[in-house]
Structure 1
Amino acid sequence: MRKRKNFKLEMNIEKEIGQDTVLILPDYDENGCLNSVIYHTDGMIKVESKPFDLIDTNLRFRGSSMRGAVEGSSAILGKLNKNPVIIDRDKGIILLPSKSAILDDCVWLSLQHIMECFSLEGNQTKVTLSNGSSIVLAGSKKSIQRRMEKAYELQFKMEAQKRIFDNGRVISENAYHLVKQAGQVNYEHQVE
């Protein structure tokens, strides 16, 4: 993972990765600086931030980080070379990288917007997207589908964990009242 010296959370609506985000492309400006192009279902926007940093900012804005998301993904799926990343579990926003996330030419695809993959000559794959667009990526159809399968597995396991946790809660019919008496260090539990 990349290390950053002075992280400053700068988030705005233009940088938001949401349910309408289809993919994030690396894009070099005229000065050779790496930026991002975020493609949404209804258009695109250029952002002065590297894709890795853009995703990290979105995760930090939601109370996580790229490191935390990758470690969480690895804990659930096992150590992978190209981990999918959950941006927002409740909204089902999961991004999968076209290659290693630390490479500057990594393209990030939103799992919910991938419709189909087709093999092309020269070890390339055409990915059709939910808005009728498509992108041609380096790599075999099999490798991209494997990353999609891992992203679906991550989504399924996260939902299963949530269901287990939610169903495991027992709602007590006994109310209680907690009081800390003057001069005491602990609260006392009093059943009503």
Structure 2
Amino acid sequence: MRQRTTKNSEMKAEYAISSETIVILPDFDENGFLNALICKKDGITQAGLSPFNLIDTNLRFRGSSMRGALDGARTLLDKAYMNPVILDNERDIILFPSKSPFREDCVWLSLRHVRTYKRSGASHTRVELSNGSTIRLDVSFHTFNKKIQRAYELRYKMQAQTMRFEGQVVESGIGYHLTKGKKDLNYVGVKETY
């Protein structure tokens, strides 16, 4: 497998993964380089990056990385490998891999765009996407079902954690004033008294 190298800060508009992104497919060009096909509601765009690097570039553009997203998913799900990633929590962009993310034949699907899925032979799954398109993946129904359930679990746990954190921030507490003298190194908190 040949992959192009790219600067991590390079982000072209046509490489952007958005809420309209349905699936990201691997695609080899005539020179043997692995590229990504970005399938959106309005058509397909070819990116000059592998699917893994495309997602990493999008995460870095948002201030994260593939490693950070995979580590975060591993922590929330307590699962070691082949986890989904949250690309954008606010826009509900969660991508999950059909196989190991490091394999060149890995397809990435957007959780929000999977309409239905069913068996298609002993070791394949047919997935219907939100725009009416279909894709036949060389992954068993059982394996695909586990992957999509893991993506839903990640979404739920992230939402629950966010709500719990935001709820704690909103709660009123004890008021205090923080001060630091000219020669002091640390701030000192004094409780408000009424």
Aligned to 1:99: 99
Query: SS at 1:152's partner residue?
Result: helix
Q: Where in structure 2 are the equivalents of 1:21-170 lying within 5 Å?
A: 21-169=21-169, 170=171
Q: Distance in 1 between matches of 2:167 and 2:132?
A: 39
Amino acid in the other structure paired with 1:107? V
Question: How far is 1:89 from its partner?
Answer: 1.1
Query: SS at 1:118's partner residue?
Result: strand
Amino acid in the other structure paired with 2:137? L
Whether the 8 Å CA contact 2:176–2:189 is kept in 1: the answer is no
Query: SS at 1:22's partner residue?
Result: strand
Q: Distance in 2 between matches of 1:189 and 1:39?
A: 54
Question: How far is 1:158 from its partner?
Answer: 0.7
Q: Distance in 2 between matches of 1:7 and 1:44?
A: 24
Aligned to 2:172: 171
Q: Distance in 1 between matches of 2:138 and 2:76?
A: 27
Whether the 8 Å CA contact 2:34–2:50 is kept in 1: the answer is yes
Amino acid in the other structure paired with 1:94? I
Query: SS at 1:132's partner residue?
Result: coil
Query: SS at 1:86's partner residue?
Result: strand
TM-score scaled by structure 2? 0.88
Q: Which runs of 5+ in 1 are unaligned?
A: none
Q: Distance in 2 between matches of 1:50 and 1:150?
A: 24
Whether the 8 Å CA contact 2:74–2:81 is kept in 1: the answer is no
Question: How far is 1:43 from its partner?
Answer: 1.0
1:82-137: CA deviation from partner (whole Å, max 9, x where unpaired): 21111111111110101000001100000000011121125211100001111110
Amino acid in the other structure paired with 2:107? V
1:152-182: CA deviation from partner (whole Å, max 9, x where unpaired): 0110011111111111223347363x44433
RMSD (Å), alpha carbons: 2.0
Q: Distance in 1 between matches of 2:26 and 2:20?
A: 18
Question: How far is 1:188 from its partner?
Answer: 4.4
Question: How far is 1:45 from its partner?
Answer: 0.7
Whether the 8 Å CA contact 2:118–2:141 is kept in 1: the answer is yes
Count of aligned pairs? 187
Whether the 8 Å CA contact 2:8–2:60 is kept in 1: the answer is no
Question: In structure 2, do the counterparts of structure 1 residues 182 and 81 end up closer, same or farther at CA, with 3 Å as the change threshold?
Answer: closer
TM-score scaled by structure 1? 0.89
Amino acid in the other structure paired with 1:174? G
